Amino acid sequence: MYGDNTGVHSKFKFKVLPALSVDYQKKITPFFDVKGTLGWQMINSGDHYNQEQIDLIAESNQPHAFSGSVFYGDVMPIYHINPNLSGYIPSLIKVYTGLGLGYFYSKRTDEKLILNDTRRRTESYPASDAGVYIPFRIGAFKDLKSDADIGFEATFIYSPFSELDGNDLQQKRIKADMLMQFQFYYRIHLGYRY
């Protein structure tokens, strides 16, 4: 996750956590599908900040740490770059991409330093945010002899309103919060295949 309090990305100090999704695709033409996705991703800020950085975040009355989950759903058209077409040799590996629109709900436990406390205590409290995001996906798959295929998919979820992590200090190069996922999948075909 790329957010205001999710690590030091320029030094590759950030958490890599699990994600899970279920999708449904409807074939429109050999080149285009419509895909709907529901998913979940675990989120956590990690413990990457020194005391000076935590103090600066606390001065802005923002949480310096969090843990929780993001639930999301989106719809997008999928473009198949090299589909199987009648009269042509089938592609061994098929590649696709898509851009869509979705909605997320981020449920977290935020942690904030209490500034005027001599014992430097932190306060933990439940928090949540929701908003619109723009998903981008690119993937590749291989047809199996059964009525299924296996593949992998990279997903980039861009939240233009910077609300995924509960911190809106905007102390990063790119102002939006983002989720990145890399998933392997096994897909079963329910209807007619092109």
User: Could you write out the DSSP letters of every residue in 6-43?
Assistant: S-BGGGTB-----EEEEEEEEE-SSSEEEEEEEEEEEE
In a domain, 24, yes or no: yes
Number of separate domains in the chain: 1
Closest Cα partner for 163 from 76, 73, 62?
Answer: 62
Q: Is residue 193 part of a domain?
A: no
32 found inside a domain: yes
Decide if 181 is inside a domain: yes
Residue range(s) defining the domain that contains residue 130: 9-188
Q: What is the pLDDT of residues 42-95, one digit of tens each?
A: 888 777 677 887 888 788 777 878 889 999 999 999 999 988 877 677 788 999
> What CATH number does the domain containing 78 carry?
2.40.160
State the chain's mean pLDDT as an integer: 83
User: Average pLDDT of 124-140?
Assistant: 93
CA 53 – CA 103 distance, rounded (Å): 31
pLDDT of residue 150: 95
The answer to whether position 194 is within a domain reads no
pLDDT at position 6 over 60: no
Least confident of 17-31, 41-55, 103-117: 41-55
Query: Does the pLDDT at position 121 exceed 80?
Result: yes
Residue 155 host element (H or E): strand 148-159
Burial 60-73 (b: 16+ CB within 10 A, else e): eebbbbbbbebebe
Does some domain include residue 3?
no
164 within domain boundaries? yes
- 4 within domain boundaries: no
Q: Which two tokens stand for residue 96?
A: 């696709």
Is residue 8's pLDDT more than 60? no
**Average pLDDT for 28-33:** 93
Q: Which residue, chain included where needed, has tokens 């802005």?
A: 60
- Of the chain, the percentage scoring pLDDT greater than 90 comes to 31
Q: Which residues, other chains included, contact 11 with Cβ-Cβ below 8 Å and sequence gap of 6+?
A: none
Higher pLDDT among residues 150 and 62, named by residue: 150
